[in-house]
A and B are shown apart, each in its own frame.
Chain A
Amino acid sequence: MVEIVRADDNPACLHFCVTARPNSVSGHSGWLIAMAILIPSCTIAGIIFFTIGAWPVSLFMGLPIVGLSAAFYSVERHAGDFERITLDGDRLILDRHTLGWDQHLEFNSYWVQVALHPTAVGGGNMLALVSHGKEVAFGQLMSDEERETLGRELKRWLAKTRH
């Protein structure tokens, strides 16, 4: 999910500001449905196999429950993550919030380069900011098309600031 705030919408951002957040469809109900199907079926199968003497099956039946719970838990914890790129005059600011880890990077918009690489084999892409010999990838929460468009827009805008 990508939100755009343009200068005219929000006076706090001088030029424009793009925020990407993970899609998050009401985690709780999805989790409940998933578990409501999985736990009873795994438990019943586990008990039946235990009674016929195949107790290892019962142990293994715990795996899917643990695995899927961990997956849903992790997605829910990451629901508040975001990635924000702000263009503010001669500053390009990259803010990143990933569960208990914040990153705030400022670049001089005159020097920073935007790199858009195609990925290895599949026709996807990756987006990075390059400055002072360092490359910072961003756009993990965006789709390939969104990254591509954002990259193109950023390049166009940065080219403008240099004039």
Chain B
Amino acid sequence: MESTMTAVHHEEHPSGLARWLTTTNHKDIGTLYLWFSFAMFLFAGSLAMLIRAELFQPGLQLLSPAVFNQLTALHGLIMIFGAIMPAFVGFANWQVPLMIGAPDMAFPRLNNWSFWLLPAAATLLIASFFAPGGAMAAGWTMYPPLFIQGGISYDMTILAIHILGLSSIMGAINIVTTILNLRAPGMKLMMMPLFVWTWLITAYLLVAVMPVLASVITMLLTDRHFGTHFFSAAGGGDPVMFQHIFWFFGHPEVYIMILPAFGIISTIIPTFARKKLFGYTSMVYAVASIALLSFIVWAHHMFTTGMPVAGQLFFMYSTMLIAIPTGVKVFNWVATLWRGSISFETPMLFALAVVCLFTIGGFSGLVLALVPVDIQLQDTYYVVAHFHYVLFSGAAMSIMGGVYYWLPKWTGHMYDETLGKWHFWLTAVAFNVTFFPMHFLGLAGMPRRIPDYALQFADFNRIASVGAFVLGLAQLLFLYVVVKCIRGGFAAGERPWDGADTLEWTLTSPPPYHSFTTPPNLSK
């Protein structure tokens, strides 16, 4: 019987692109999201390598200032919208249905469309490098009036972001509906794994703020081509209004990229501490309060635009408040580790590094929250260091940890633990060599987004560049480990991690409703 099954399987398996294009299976789509995001991670990462190569020493060596600005803008845009966000959506696709006992996402076909919009947008962004005048060069924040001055590639960028935004909204609606409606009967909201909670809240943020981004870039488009003057001072518009709208989207966006990371960390740490997550309820409330606060802090990105004192103070106080729920999360993780039975497999190493390094990013965030200090540090390398500590060692390293954690489940094979640890240590050390010196550069007064710098900044830039090259190369090792794991390895079994307790490790959906683990007695 087994042999006939395999035969059938080989005969009737239409392979090729059509299967990929039409698949509606959540695991397939999750996998596509993850591969897409990894490809974008490597592409945007290589843009960063070029940036660091140019900044290796003072003077212009490799790039013209025009190209340099294109690289910084597209590195940011692609990392955010092409690498980090799709990676988390990939995790959601794979894990949310398994964790809540749903057969699939609520709208499988919509899910397919959300994914296939992404390669179209990525193609547009990459193609814009070859447009006359080169790619968009106004930074990922796209501030007008500079943005209004640009050429055709700026319109391509707007279109690409529209497509990416549409994809995100569709994905988010799908996830909200899946979590709220398709849970296995009996699974109450406060029983959901924390990863599902973080994604529910993230999806809400996405649904609420992606339309804001869509509207603000539409306004840029009409300012460019259809005679409106929303943001042009000469026509009676207000360039600062763009920043208000953009950051009303932009700050929740930051949490969109970090909350699912919190979910992954809250899954990994209990597993390898072999102990239940400490303070589950307070974790849920902390995530929800971070999300709520994210709507009233946006103007802390704009302290130097010249706000009234009352505005500066309000946004400073609200920003400082975010430290409280974020602190609760870190304390809970430490309490989870306390008196556990801790082991240090690769996913755990990543999770622990995230806790430490994200906390450093949190502290620099607190420093930046204080208006007077922010006035000194705004638009300097200190800010670059801060958001890489949050987004690389917070979001990207959580994604890496999550990949190692779930690879055995996804592929059925164990990954190579030795190489995984090599990847971890190379990444963690190179990351700090790259980005820690940037704090000093920012304090000393090096502005961000400059292709060339004064001689006093040379040493730390050189150190950062060396770190960046190692960091970039280490990700090729990651690619190798993943491919190796997919192609074979020790069988993982149903529960490769003895401490894992979420549903997806027990192959079954919630036990009482799963019908097939003990096959029904069919003989009369």
Residue positions of A touching B, CB distance < 8 A: 1-4, 6-7, 15-16, 18, 20, 22-25, 27, 30-31, 33-34, 37-38, 41-42, 45, 49, 52-54, 56-57, 59-61, 63-64, 67-68, 71-72, 74-75, 113, 115-126, 130, 135, 140-146, 149-150, 153, 155-157, 159-160
B contact residues around A146 at 8 Å (CB): 103, 509, 514-516
Contact A53 B27 (CB under 8 A): no
Residues of chain B contacted by A113 (CB below 8 angstroms)? 8
B384 at the A/B interface (Cβ < 8 Å)?
no
Q: Which of B482-522 contact A (CB under 8 A)?
A: 507-509, 513-517, 519-522
Q: How far is the CA of A67 from the CA of B175 in the complex (A)?
A: 13
Residues of A near B230 (CB, < 8 A) are 53-54, 56
Query: Would B211 and A64 count as touching, CB distance under 8 A?
Result: yes
Chain A residues with Cβ below 8 Å from B170 are 67
Asked whether, in the complex, the Cβ of A122 is within 8 Å of the Cβ of B522, the reply is no
User: What residues on A are CB-neighbors of B222 within 8 Å?
Assistant: 56
Q: How far is the CB of A59 from chain B (nearest CB, A)?
A: 7
Q: What residues make up the interface of B, taking CB atoms closer than 8 Å to A?
A: 1, 5, 8-9, 12-13, 15, 19-20, 23, 25-32, 35, 94, 97-98, 101-104, 106-108, 169-170, 173-174, 176-177, 180-185, 187, 204, 207-208, 210-212, 214-216, 218-219, 222, 230, 238, 241, 244-245, 248, 295, 410-412, 507-509, 513-517, 519-524
| Contact among B26, B32, B215 with A56 in the assembled complex (CB-CB below 8 Å) | B215
Residues on B with beta carbons closer than 8 Å to the beta carbon of A123 = 27, 31, 410-412
B residues less than 8 Å from A49 (CB atoms):
245
Partner of B5, one of A16, A37, A135, A155: A155
A30 touches B1 (CB 8 A): no
Closest beta carbon of chain A to B314's beta carbon, Å: 14
- Rounded to whole angstroms, the CA-CA distance of A52 and B12 in the bound complex is 60
Which 7 A-B residue pairings sit nearest by Cβ, starting from the closest? Answer: A122-B27, A149-B516, A124-B25, A122-B28, A60-B215, A30-B180, A120-B19
B313: min CB distance to chain A, Å: 19
- The CA-CA distance from A109 to B183 in the complex, in Å, is 34
B8 cross-chain contacts in A, Cβ below 8 A: 113, 115-116
Summarize B's interface: helix, strand, loop or mixed: helix
Cβ contacts A to B, 25 pairs, < 8 Å: A2-B515, A6-B522, A23-B181, A23-B184, A25-B187, A30-B181, A38-B207, A38-B208, A54-B245, A56-B215, A56-B218, A64-B208, A67-B207, A71-B177, A74-B107, A119-B23, A120-B23, A121-B32, A122-B29, A124-B26, A140-B103, A141-B103, A144-B25, A145-B508, A157-B522
Given contacts A68-B207, A122-B410, 6 further A-B contacts (CB under 8 A): A2-B514, A25-B187, A54-B216, A54-B230, A67-B207, A120-B19
Of the candidates A22, A135, A160, the one having the most CB atoms from chain B within 10 angstroms of its own CB is A22
Task: Using known A-B contacts A56-B218, A64-B207, determine if residue A116 contacts B181 with beta carbons closer than 8 Å.
Answer: no
User: Complex formed: what's the CA distance from A67 to B27 in Å?
Assistant: 24
B515 touches A4 (CB 8 A): yes
Given contacts A113-B8, A144-B27, contact A71 B295 (CB under 8 A): no
What's the minimum C-beta distance from B393 to chain A, rounded to whole angstroms?
28
